């Protein structure tokens, strides 16, 4: 494969978000390159999830533009938008599995919507996705309500991966998991990223997740992105928020080295 000029997978250009008098984002610029894992961090209410929702096209910024795969989702017509949306998978914070469908039907749902596969192939693909996220085949017949928190995240990840996306968007992937589970989940995402050649954008509060997953960290504070760089450079930053939020990070990095 030769790709002479790489276009960024995701490009946030001059985004402003305003709800009434409250300004959430003030001129945000961000680029995510193919194969990269970018973490979005920031304090509570700093607009991380809002930015993530702008990126996947659930909401529109007041000003500015978000381009995915070089296209602006809002300017595409219906069919093009659908194709573009099939190129990324989103893992919601609480999984957002369809509660009336079992795990199998949840993962099969995007595949069925393509109308390109027969039952046999769908079964094979669903089982493949379950194996990818390390769930057992018999878990396929459980309803979301019967799953544990970690299993819900895995099943939701399998659904996000169903259409072989290029970009994976994760909202707090390890929130609500115990340290052991969250470590396993991070390892799982790391494996998948290599196997499936994924670009990942994720929001997190968890330092361990951040350290073991992110290539680059974008820090949201004061309605801006105050830094978008590697962890080592970030630890040297003198912004008070970064200082506070990453007080532990230098210690951990030292421990790791």
Partner 1 sequence: MADADFHVQDNADGSKSIFLTGRWSLRGVDNNFTDLRSQIAPFFSNPFTHWDITGVEQLDSAGAAILWTGWGHAVDKRVSLRPEHAALFEMLAALPAYHSVSASDGNVVVVAVQRMYDGCLGFIEHLVEFTYLLGALVLELLYVLRNPRRIPWKEISANVYKGGVTALPVTALVSFMIGIAMSYLMALQLRKFGADIFIINILGLAGIRELGPILMAIIVAGRSGSAMTAQIGVMRVTEEIDALTTMGISRVLRLVLPKIIGLVFVAPLLAFWTSAWAIAGGMLAANIELGINMEFFIDYLPRVVKPVTLTLALVKGLTFGLLVTLIACHFGLRIKPNTESLSTSTTSSVVSAITTVILVDAIFAVATRSIGL
Distance CA 114, CA 97 (A): 19
Residue (100 or 236) nearer to partner 1, CB: 100
Compute the least distance from the CB of residue 3 to partner 1, in Å.
8
Q: Which residues contact 243 (CB under 8 A, 6 or more apart)?
A: 237
Residue (163 or 218) nearer to partner 1, CB: 163
Compute the least distance from the CB of residue 150 to partner 1, in Å.
18
CB 144 within 8 A of CB 98: yes
Which residues here bind partner 1, judged by CB under 8 A?
1, 83, 86-87, 98-100, 114-117, 119-121, 123-125, 127-129, 131, 137, 143-145, 163-166, 196
CB 177 within 8 A of CB 94: no
Residue (58 or 124) nearer to partner 1, CB: 124
Beta strand residue intervals within the chain, DSSP E: 10-19, 22-32, 37-42, 63-68, 71-72, 88-91, 167-171, 199-203, 216-221, 224-229
Compute the least distance from the CB of residue 58 to partner 1, in Å.
20
Compute the least distance from the CB of residue 33 to partner 1, in Å.
17
**Residue whose pair of structure tokens reads 């390892």 in the numeric block:** 187
Phi first, then psi: give them for residue 78, nearest 5 degrees.
-55, -50
Distance CA 249, CA 242 (A): 10
Residue (114 or 236) nearer to partner 1, CB: 114
Residue (104 or 185) nearer to partner 1, CB: 104
Residue (34 or 43) nearer to partner 1, CB: 34
Distance CA 43, CA 61 (A): 20
Q: Tell me, what DSSP letter sits at residue 6?
A: P
Distance CA 76, CA 249 (A): 42
Compute the least distance from the CB of residue 157 to partner 1, in Å.
15
Compute the least distance from the CB of residue 86 to partner 1, in Å.
7
């Amino acid at each position: 494969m030769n790709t002479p000029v790489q276009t960024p997978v995701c490009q946030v250009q001059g985004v402003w978000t305003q709800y009434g008098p409250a300004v959430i984002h003030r001129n945000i610029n961000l680029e995510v390159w193919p194969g990269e894992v970018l973490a979005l961090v920031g304090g509570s209410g700093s607009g991380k999830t809002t930015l993530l929702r702008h990126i996947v096209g659930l909401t529109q910024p007041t000003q500015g533009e978000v381009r995915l795969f070089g296209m602006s989702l809002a300017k595409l017509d219906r069919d093009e938008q659908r194709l573009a949306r099939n190129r990324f998978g989103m893992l919601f914070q609480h999984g957002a599995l369809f509660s009336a469908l079992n795990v199998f039907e949840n993962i099969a749902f995007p595949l069925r919507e393509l109308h390109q596969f027969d039952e046999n192939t769908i079964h094979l693909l669903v089982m493949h996705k379950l194996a990818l996220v390390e769930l057992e085949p018999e878990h396929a017949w459980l309803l979301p309500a019967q799953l544990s928190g970690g299993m819900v995240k895995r099943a939701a990840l399998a659904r996000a991966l169903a259409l072989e996306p290029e970009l994976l968007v994760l909202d707090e992937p390890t929130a609500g998991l115990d340290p052991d589970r969250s470590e396993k989940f991070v390892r799982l995402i790391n494996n998948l990223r290599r196997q499936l050649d994924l670009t990942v954008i994720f929001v997190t509060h968890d330092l361990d997740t951040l350290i073991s997953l992110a290539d680059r960290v974008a820090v949201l504070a004061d309605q801006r992105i105050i830094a978008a760089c590697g962890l080592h450079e970030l630890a040297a930053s003198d912004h008070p928020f970064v200082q506070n939020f990453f007080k532990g990070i230098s210690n951990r990095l030292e421990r790791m080295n």
